[in-house]
Amino acid sequence: MKERTLEDIRSEGFRIVDLARESGLNTKLIGGLGIAAHDHRSLPAALVREFGDIDLVIGRKSGRQLSDFLTEMGYEANQRFNALHGAKRLLFYDVEKQRQVDVFVGEFHMCHSINLENHLEIHPRSLTPEYLLLTKLQIFEINHKDLLDVLRILYMHSIEGQDPDCSGISLERMNQILSSDWGWYTTVIDNLKKVQAVSGITLNEIESNEVKSIISKMIEIIETEPKSTKWKARALVGRKKIWYEIPEEVNGAR
């Protein structure tokens, strides 16, 4: 008999990854629920939002196992979509509660690509904060919801280093990507400046100044990091050539 899913989506997301871990499956939350797993202090009311779906990431070799696991948990697989795209992405539904589970297999790909295969071991429920940041900041046409999610990550973390509880953002890990890929770097810097602007009209003065200071330090560190030869060559072309992809809408029709 299939299990009944929980009404509260945050509790349900946590339940999925906790039970998966007990079953030997290393899947992690990303998206809004992944960010919510990193609330290390009280959340400003302006950053509170509802969650619509559950987003997960799993290693490339574990997609089929996770598919079986989610089916046992009470989710309905999108058989057609999963047959066509299962090597990179899987879709499942909680039909009763009209919720979707979107599973990224091995990597997160939208406007840029980020390999997550080797970053699933650190936090028990989610990606580390810097990789959550990258999944949001790599969106060229970033929307207000995503800007608020970035604000939430930055408000909850320092950039002084990576602690065992993931209370710090590792700029060293971010720079491994940004200092070798001009396109990635450009989209991230552009979006950090947008977040900085939004913080002033979203948070109170004290909260906003705190986040703006963090962003200024981040940009300074990212910009002064030595860049690869490939990065420098692409920088010569600059914005004359498109440096990002526009992701196709996922057709999740069952």
Q: What is the pLDDT of residues 53-78, one digit of tens each?
A: 999 999 999 999 999 999 999 999 99
Q: Where are the domains of the chain?
A: 9-240
Mean pLDDT, residues 15-22 taken together: 95
CB neighbours of 15 closer than 8 A, spacing ≥ 6?
Answer: 6
- Weakest-pLDDT range from 3-7, 19-23, 234-238: 3-7
| Nearest residue to 175 (alpha-carbon basis) of 231, 246, 124 | 231
Provide the pLDDT for residue 162: 53
Cα–Cα distance, 182 to 50 (Å, whole number)? 34
What residues does 243 pair with on adjacent strands?
Answer: none
Structure tokens at 201: 């009209």
Provide the pLDDT for residue 232: 98
Query: pLDDT band for position 18 (50/70/90)?
Result: very high
Mean pLDDT, residues 39-64 taken together: 93
Does residue 25 have a pLDDT over 90? yes
Write phi, then psi, for 81 (nearest 5 degrees).
Answer: -60, -45
- Weakest-pLDDT range from 92-101, 170-179, 208-217, 242-251: 242-251
Provide the pLDDT for residue 121: 80
Answer yes or no: CATH 3.30.460.40 is held by domain 9-240: yes
Does residue 1 have a pLDDT over 50? no
pLDDT tens-digit profile of 191-200? 999 999 999 9
Provide the pLDDT for residue 251: 55
What residues does 77 pair with on adjacent strands?
Answer: 92
User: Which residue is associated with the tokens 């909260």?
Assistant: 207
* Percent of the chain scoring above 70 in pLDDT: 94
Mean pLDDT, residues 234-246 taken together: 97
Structure tokens at 155: 């408000």
pLDDT tens-digit profile of 203-228? 999 999 999 999 999 999 999 999 99
The residue type of 60 is R
Rounded mean pLDDT of the chain?
Answer: 92
Provide the pLDDT for residue 60: 93
* Percent of the chain scoring above 90 in pLDDT: 83
Mean pLDDT, residues 31-54 taken together: 93
Question: Is residue 167 classed as helix, strand or coil in its secondary structure?
Answer: coil
pLDDT tens-digit profile of 113-168? 999 988 888 888 999 999 999 999 999 999 999 999 999 999 999 886 555 555 68
The residue count for the chain: 254
How many CB atoms lie under 10 A from the CB of residue 9?
Answer: 20
Cα–Cα distance, 105 to 245 (Å, whole number)? 19
Burial class of residue 212, CB neighbours in 10 A (0-12, 13-18, 19+): middle
Helices (H), 3-78: 9-22, 31-36, 63-72
Provide the pLDDT for residue 247: 84
